[in-house]
Amino acid sequence: MSLDKETVRKVASLAHIKMTDEELDKYGPQLNNIVGFIEQLSEVDTDNVEPLPSPVDIPLKLRKDEVTDGGYPEDVLANAPEALESFYVVPKVIE
């Protein structure tokens, strides 16, 4: 499986990273090199093997469903590139 330029363009778009044509040409072969490497896994027989999403078996704890945090909007917004009152400001999305 090899990624052509259009696939790289689509992946960059899915990842929300703007890329010029020259960048697509640069990253394409690098990504193909990595994909070639990870495809070694197809040699491994994994029939009847359960996937392992997390390495250590820690039972998830339950706690009371109640608010335990919050109430400091100024801290939450402290690092916003642009904020107004208690809100983040983004470019206009509705015409």
Partner 1 sequence: MTELTHMTIAEALKGLENKDFTSVELTQAHIGAIENTRHLNVFVTETPELALKQAAESDKRRTAGDAGLLDGIPLAIKDLFCTKDVQTTAGSHILEGFVPTYESTVTTNLFRDGAVMLGKTNLDEFAMGSSNTTSFFGNVINPWKNQSNPDADLVPGGSSGGSSAAVAARIALGATGTDTGGSIRQPAAFTGTVGVKPTYGRCSRWGTVAFASSLDQAGAFARTVEDSALLLQSMSGHDPMDSTSADKNVPDWASTLQGDIKGMKIGIPKEYRMDGMPDEIEQLWQKGIEWMKDAGAEIIDVSLPHTKYALPAYYIIAPAEASTNLSRYDGVRYGLRVEGENLRDTYESTRAEGFGDEVKRRIMIGTYVLSAGYYDAYYMKAQKVRRLILQDFEKAYEQCDALLTPTAPSAAFAIGEKEDDQIKMYLNDIFTVPANLAGLPGLSVPAGLDKDGLPLGLQILGKAWDEETIFRVGNKIEQAANFTAIPEMVMQKAA
The residues that touch partner 1, with contacts defined as CB under 8 A, are 3, 7-8, 11-19, 27, 30-31, 33-35, 37-44, 46, 49-56, 58, 60-61, 63, 72, 75-76, 78-82, 88, 90-93
Residue that is written with structure tokens 């027989």 in the block: 45
| Nearby residues of 32 by Cβ (< 8 Å), 6 or more positions away | 2, 3
Name the minimum Å distance from CB 59 to partner 1.
Answer: 9
Name the minimum Å distance from CB 50 to partner 1.
Answer: 6
Using alpha carbons, select from 94, 64, 75, 42 the residue that is nearest to residue 86.
Answer: 75
